A and B are shown apart, each in its own frame.
Chain A
């Protein structure tokens, strides 16, 4: 659940930021780069703490109070936001790489036939690059899914061990870990298979990307 909701954010924000990193406008590019560097260079766990503990404090008093007291499912929503925005920075890099892997002649061809910048992206660059980045996107999805375990961990620490005494984990949790591990392996493997199918359906006949050579 957390993973899916976060994936929606990550894909949307990541696409925008990724495209922004390739546009001619310098200011837009710098902003997008800053976003990526900022989210990429702080450990996810720290970001999780920032969203969960720090953000409510920095908000105007009423909003902060509402976030702490009345917001439903605080762990859930901060985990989704955190994972979403974090993964967006990684998705953005993939989108950028996908666009940059296309030859410059392709966008020149678009401009030459009178398309505007946004039309070039909409009709030429994006349709091709999204197909190219299906494989890395698969692994990004798996990453977001694996990272959602962090959110569970925070929840777990909150619930079971305020004192953070690890010795209090019992053999019940041992079983829980076994179950969790099996579930992760199963889902990861089936996603891989699914994406293979998707990849072959989306393939453009006769078009070979740089990596496949």
Chain B
């Protein structure tokens, strides 16, 4: 469904992505991990074109993200994205956060959008918070709302950019629970995260990145049991120490 074909990207002279290639099938859950600065967040932002690439091509359902003629807004509306810092709109209520793009992009009626938003809020157990503002919610609650905002667009795939790394430890699980539920329902997901427990539980494949390159791209069991590269071994040793 998503193909990443030999992409490279530079910030000025500094190369952030070097010749990365991989793909994600329909219904697959892929976890991307690696040390900070390895380019994993940049990679995921390239998938829906938030960051442009200088070389190579990305296709989503055979539509080229990297082509100038592509209707990016239409494409993005089909791919949900969840950010590290939630990025809920602080000047809108929770309900309106979930309704905005439904109404403005999908042209749903106000009632339709609200009904959709309410059913999603119920699903993430936040029905009673609909009229609050993001600033009045905890981090975990905000991130769940952000997931609901993405799901409201009925996306064909979901991108998660370190969804739990800005959260206090006690809130991480409430967000991971929602993500696990999504995965078991068969959602296509690409997740940048350090939560190796999550990866073991639901990921079909794990991609390990370092210094802008995809160093390892293997089925989950294989990645954890027999990592091929030294760098992946060292990374796993550090992160699984405790």
Are chains A and B touching in the complex at the 8 Å CB cutoff?
no
Residues of B whose CB lies within 8 Å of any CB of A are none
Residues of A whose CB lies within 8 Å of any CB of B are none
